[in-house]
Amino acid sequence: MDVYSKTIGGTTYQITVKEDWTWVAGIQEDALAFSDFNRIETNSQTLRNMLTAIQYAIPSLTFVTNRDQTYIELLSGINRVETNLESIRTNFVTPPGYPGTESWTVGKGFDFTDANRLEQDIRLLFQYAGFVYDGFIYCGTVNCGYQRGALPLV
């Protein structure tokens, strides 16, 4: 798993993604567990919070982060995860290489490629939010190699 973080206005936003879900000889080596779905949704929530902190109008979204061993993920839950990411992307930007979302129906299987796609969606959006923040130039700042406060006032 890889950890990505960005500090904005004194708050550090951090996500943990796993983009190496695999199958070997037709058998899924590592299956998504309840904790993985919790992590994916927590990452989505962190991404939304980060974007609202830099003034993007991301609508309120519903996240489920309290799954346990007794929780069974239904199609409606997977569709909610997909819809949340699509809402974030629609109100922000589509990064190059963004794999996009799926719509889940009965009979459509969820496998390691879908897990990798969800993780990649979150990582790309998070990284681009960081790029956008880094690219902000505020009125009255000097952006020619000096850090704010480094210039002497005469």
Say yes or no to pLDDT of 118 above 90: yes
Which ranges of the chain does DSSP label H, i.e. alpha helix? 34-53, 75-90, 112-135
Query: Cα separation of 113 and 69, whole Å?
Result: 23
What is the spatial distance between Cα 35 and Cα 37, in angstroms, rounded to a whole number? 5
The predicted-structure confidence for 17-76, as pLDDT tens digits, reads as follows 999 988 765 665 677 888 999 999 999 999 999 999 999 999 999 999 999 988 877 888
Residue range 133-143, pLDDT digits in tens: 988 766 555 55
Q: What is the pLDDT of residues 98-117, one digit of tens each?
A: 998 888 889 888 888 898 99
Q: What end-to-end distance do the CA atoms of the chain give, in Å? A: 50
pTM of the model: 0.84
